[in-house]
Structure 1
């Protein structure tokens, strides 16, 4: 069969995009023709990986400076007639978009059309020919839709052949509130493919959370709960991956609670499976979780999950006490207690990890695609007995220009692995070379310290694939080669190669200043002295500790001060920072509170080279 998915934005990052691409790729693997129609195109290449046999098309160009942007279309900006105003994305739809949908669907030769949001369900019901099998999907829950949308949606659902929810509880809710006679109402969960990286070994003391930084995900609850965790287990770390409108608010909360050594704000990351595999525990603190893609993603990487019992997905995914723990919604103390329970019981954590890996297999895309195929067959058989059904026939291409198909990757995509022996392995890297940012030609031989980018022989950038860098987490390598994803999605490399490292472990901040404790790698400390360098150089005595060194810094004059450690008499000073782990950009991940003392404000921070500095301004 030919299957057409209708998607608001196929070029971004999000749960609906992920599950659509997963299902589309699985159907393509099983021999179906698959096309994804994105309402808008916001970039040339999609963020999310997509099977090369799946065609990603777009109706309109969203970038106003792009040649395909139709600023002069007379229908642009005129209100859509049939797109529900109560749909959360209704502002993306005007008469121009609507007219294109009507023409595209009328001319499509698809056997099946699957609409992924209420407004697109309305379009499928109105514009898709009766010869198509029309399916709608609910990627939220009925109660998450606006009241006006809940009232309007049933009349659109009655024009479909089937309506699919992603949890059994949501299907029950729809049955209780919506009368559908000719529309089959069923539930089929989302799918998550098996990761291509090895599962987590569970030895690294890391809790991982990932998702949009928005109110309903409740990362504020998780961060506050983790403050209680670190009070008992300061050796554990929380990493939060994602982007969203609460980014700055959550970073401020980390600083306010003094969690700068324990909570890392990692930013967006895709594909995420390598980061799940670094975790010993996954955390999902949401108030609402219609399905729970992050739960299944973590479980497929062999990571047990501590989640709130949010409606509706977590309780259908987790077996409480077996592959994870469920806690009451909004209960900070219960979330902290559940995390500590798993943290403090190594045997239980290991058993939960094994159960998570096994139980998550039921969400494999091949199994979910098979359920959809069974639905297609049921609907086709039922449709064949109705007068309005007729077999597919060839249709001409849509008369309006359509954008696509988008390349799944305009440049080569390379996976990277750092081995336990600190060796960097690149997949499919034949004829590729490392280039320095400021060089015009590739450089051969061993790479010196600095920032590099992988490129083709003609200088074109290479996209970053899966970057498995968990071997760097213990921080024992003296020569670090850390592959990382640049802001444009391409593959970069950070190399640190120093005879001696002054590696910061903790930064303790109080009202008068800060105390830095760390370890020395490559030498032994003896009578350490801290050099603070700005327009002048100041020296402060340090001390030798059981684990390395410590220094105390009180008020400083205005300026930006670099920190250097002269670790022994007669030895050269070395720069303080964090280098020997898997986090490429400490300036993004670590959030320090300002210190106001002695008439100045001191702002500690890591720079782009992961070196530690203090910016001082007068109050």
Structure 2
């Protein structure tokens, strides 16, 4: 397989560059691998790369290079499709780089193209060609800037796979972009053993490394080390790296008189060679998508003390075995954990040996195997059917028929997968036979909204888009209407969501009162409905209106029940509703109270209309309300009241508004007008 990684460049000391080159080196043992960079500004990368990996730069900005592109006017123009921040004064990625990236998409013979940059991902999603499209996220997409996040999440819909660094990030991203959660996989960074001497745990040096920025919490580590020095003044702390916080960090070290104990070592390459000189590694970060440097330290035999920050450390360390996790942001606990390892030589040595074994989970071999499984999964997923028709059958069952999409589409061993949109119920899996699956009306889907997908026996799953939905039988109510003693309500409504995906709304009620019609005139609001339940209605059944703001206030209205014991009619007198009106607004939610004391919500659910409140609109009669006269009479001002004569206020008027709520329940609102 030919695999191409897309990066902005390989010319800086960043985690994305390290992770990409490590993964490329791991995969090149079994695949043809190339890294394509949008720009090149220095002669070589800071990090090692297997010589078998091809590297290509689309634009060369090195002035001494015979391929120098700086003379091209497009090299200084902003791109058109590649996203950039509004406050950028000069383009980091130019129009020339964008143009050549588009040419690459049109010409490449790659089997899979992986974007390691969220901005590049938005262009990869629109690229022509039959290659697999994969986004490899090295950070936390949910915290990206809005101008990046919005087009990126839209681009995910057109990709074959999205990889993230931790299970927590997969769960969080799945909630933000639920329409692509079936293609999100966990892929930790690849961290090969760099070789070199291991720590013997004998030095009295604590080491750490990273970009010197606020969220890395090196200030907190300096504070913690002040406590360490008070009890163990012969120990030292070395901080490797550089960044915008360096000056402030140096001042803090001086202010605490720790300049003989804490040193800012600057950037080191490779930093793992420096880790071998330490005895303990500390990761003080308050936020960390993975923590590649933590695994690098483990390869050198260092036990780790780390903040339990989102998300990486808890997925890297085995607390108590190869490291210690302390509560995120608790610098005092970090100090105590360091002291604990300082004072226990045997434990420190044993945890260092365990760290080497723990780091093997992120080796080249293990990483290549994980990545290969994701590629295979993505290729199989692409072959799954992606569209379907849905039909409500006689009796209320729903048949889902997969649409044919060519001979290469997988059709054997498929299952229809129904997933609760809110994730509160276990998925329901139904067999696909001869290209179709049946969702029984009763006893299959619980109350809620369900999204539908198709899964193969080998694991991949794909959300289904819908071509045609036939709900005619819900419109005509054939075979779904209530029958005496026929049990409660079970009704399935297949529909297309705003993204064109197939969903099913399932309504399950032991007892239910289905609204058939509503009439409003100058005397009453008249409701006709039918009862769904194990028994028929008795003579003692009534309709109750419960005040939404005060459940103790209940209006009781008699019913007229048909001979079948199912259909009933109720007139809600306007005088009753107006007399109960207080203040500016009242809302009454209506339910059926059966003769045996049970209750059933009054709603419209046996219908093809997903949101009845948008469709069914009723007259709003207005009646005078003498009881509210005093409430609306204007108050007289103390001084002007004696001078001005106020006219007698007219009687307040109350408007009665029958309607359906967003959950399709029948309600009446009364409003002072």
C-alpha deviation, 1:121, in angstroms: 0.7
Q: What does the per-residue CA deviation read over 1:178-212, in whole Å, with 9 as the maximum and x for residues that have no partner?
A: 03359611111111112312321100011110111
Q: What does the per-residue CA deviation read over 1:263-321, in whole Å, with 9 as the maximum and x for residues that have no partner?
A: 12111111222211211100111111000101111112111111111111011111222
Contact 1:11/1:48 (<8 A) preserved:
no
2:335 is the alignment partner of 1:359: no
Structure number with larger C-alpha Rg: 2
Please give the residue correspondences for 1:440-451 in structure 2 after superposition, counting only pairs within 5 Å: none
Contact 1:165/1:189 (<8 A) preserved:
yes
C-alpha deviation, 1:68, in angstroms: 3.8
2 CA distance for matches of 1:294 and 1:211?
Answer: 8
Contact 2:39/2:93 (<8 A) preserved:
no
Report the number of matched residues: 388
Contact 2:61/2:70 (<8 A) preserved:
no
Distance 1:126 1:37, change over 3 A: same
Q: What does the per-residue CA deviation read over 1:563-594, in whole Å, with 9 as the maximum and x for residues that have no partner?
A: xxxxxxxxxxxxxxxxxxxxxxxxxxxxxxxx
Structure 2 residue aligned with 1:55: 54
Distance 1:258 1:344, change over 3 A: same
Distance 1:88 1:362, change over 3 A: farther
Gaps of 5+ in 1: 391-619
Structure 1 residue aligned with 2:6: 6
2 CA distance for matches of 1:117 and 1:88?
Answer: 19
Q: What does the per-residue CA deviation read over 1:196-253, in whole Å, with 9 as the maximum and x for residues that have no partner?
A: 1232110001111011112221211111211221111111111111122222222222
2 CA distance for matches of 1:358 and 1:70?
Answer: 47
2 CA distance for matches of 1:330 and 1:6?
Answer: 35
Contact 2:79/2:91 (<8 A) preserved:
no
2 CA distance for matches of 1:50 and 1:87?
Answer: 35
Contact 2:114/2:136 (<8 A) preserved:
yes
1 CA distance for matches of 2:406 and 2:263?
Answer: 57
C-alpha deviation, 1:329, in angstroms: 2.5
Contact 1:287/1:308 (<8 A) preserved:
yes
2 CA distance for matches of 1:258 and 1:358?
Answer: 38
1 CA distance for matches of 2:140 and 2:86?
Answer: 13
Q: Give the SS at the match of 1:326.
A: strand
Between stretches 54-63 and 294-303, larger displacement belongs to 54-63
Contact 2:83/2:147 (<8 A) preserved:
no
Q: Give the SS at the match of 1:11.
A: coil
2 CA distance for matches of 1:110 and 1:193?
Answer: 25
Q: What does the per-residue CA deviation read over 1:503-532, in whole Å, with 9 as the maximum and x for residues that have no partner?
A: xxxxxxxxxxxxxxxxxxxxxxxxxxxxxx
Distance 1:87 1:158, change over 3 A: farther
C-alpha deviation, 1:87, in angstroms: 10
2 CA distance for matches of 1:312 and 1:388?
Answer: 42
Q: Give the SS at the match of 1:270.
A: coil
Structure 2 residue aligned with 1:27: 27
2:135 is the alignment partner of 1:98: no
Structure 2 residue aligned with 1:507: none
C-alpha deviation, 1:66, in angstroms: 5.2
Q: RCO higher in 1 or 2 (8 Å CA, sep ≥ 6)? A: 1
Distance 1:271 1:333, change over 3 A: same
2 CA distance for matches of 1:149 and 1:281?
Answer: 38
Q: Give the SS at the match of 2:228.
A: helix
Gaps of 5+ in 2: 386-404, 409-673
Contact 2:76/2:91 (<8 A) preserved:
no
1 CA distance for matches of 2:245 and 2:149?
Answer: 27
2 CA distance for matches of 1:87 and 1:152?
Answer: 15
Contact 1:26/1:369 (<8 A) preserved:
yes
Structure 2 residue aligned with 1:339: 338
Distance 1:388 1:148, change over 3 A: farther
Contact 1:161/1:183 (<8 A) preserved:
no
Contact 1:80/1:93 (<8 A) preserved:
yes
Structure 2 residue aligned with 1:255: 254
Structure 1 residue aligned with 2:114: 114
Q: Give the SS at the match of 1:60.
A: coil
Distance 1:122 1:356, change over 3 A: same
Structure 2 residue aligned with 1:71: 70
Q: TM-score, normalised by structure 1?
A: 0.60
1 CA distance for matches of 2:70 and 2:11?
Answer: 21
Structure 1 residue aligned with 2:195: 196
Contact 2:37/2:57 (<8 A) preserved:
yes
Distance 1:208 1:106, change over 3 A: same
Structure 2 residue aligned with 1:272: 271
Q: What does the per-residue CA deviation read over 1:519-564, in whole Å, with 9 as the maximum and x for residues that have no partner?
A: xxxxxxxxxxxxxxxxxxxxxxxxxxxxxxxxxxxxxxxxxxxxxx
C-alpha deviation, 1:64, in angstroms: 5.4
2 CA distance for matches of 1:188 and 1:27?
Answer: 14
Q: Give the SS at the match of 2:380.
A: helix
